[in-house]
Amino acid sequence: MNTQNVVLDSCVVIDIIEKPKVASQLKAKLKGKSISIILCDVVLNEVRHVRGLFPQVVVSKISTLLGRKVKLTSSTIQDSENANSLTEQFAICHNGDNKILSMCQSRNFILVTFDKMLLKASQFVGIQVFSPFTAGGI
C-alpha cells in the first residue's frame, strides 16, 4: 500500500490546534489510511506570523492531536520559481499559497485546506485537494 503525503494548509493547522472538533473529525477520517502528514516551512511561518506559535510547538501539537508522526519539508529555489509562474497564471494565489501549490505539484502531495480560492487554484493546476471535512476521500 502506497503512503500518501498530505500537506496541511495554515488555516487547517490553526483550526486543528484551536478547535478540538476539527482535530477529532480529521483524525477519524484518516484512521486506517496510509498517510503521512506533511508540514512545510511556508505553513509553519504563516502560523507563527498569525498565531505566534513556534514551529516545534505546532509540529508537536499536530502530531499529538492527529495521532501521527509529522514530516517537515522546505520549499526550494525551484519551488519559488514555479510559485512565481503560478501567481502569473492565477492572480488569486498570494505569496504563501503559490509556494504551497508549487510544492504539492512538484512532489505529488495532496493538499488539505479550507481556503476556497486555494481549493479552486489547486484544481486548475491538477493537484489533489480536499477540505478537512471531505478528507475521508483521500
Kindly report the backbone phi and psi dihedral angles of residue 73, in degrees, each rounded to the nearest multiple of 5, phi listed first.
-145, 155
Residue 97: what pLDDT? 85
Collapsing DSSP states into helix, strand and coil, what is residue 111? strand
Domain 19-133 belongs in CATH node 3.40.50.1010 = yes
Question: Can you give the pLDDT of all 138 residues of the chain as single tens digits?
Answer: 688 999 999 999 999 999 989 999 999 988 999 999 999 999 999 999 999 999 999 999 999 999 999 999 998 888 877 877 776 676 666 667 888 988 999 999 999 998 888 888 888 888 999 887 665 555
> Domain-by-domain residue ranges, the chain?
19-133
Residue 9 grid coordinates: 494548509
Residue 94: what pLDDT? 64
Residue 113: what pLDDT? 92
In terms of residues, how long is the chain? 138
Task: Look at residues 60, 57, 62, 45 and name the one whose alpha carbon lies nearest to residue 100.
Answer: 45
Residue 40 grid coordinates: 512545510
Is residue 16 a contact partner of residue 22, using CB atoms and an 8 Å limit? yes
Task: Look at residues 42, 36, 58, 45 and name the one whose alpha carbon lies nearest to residue 108.
Answer: 36
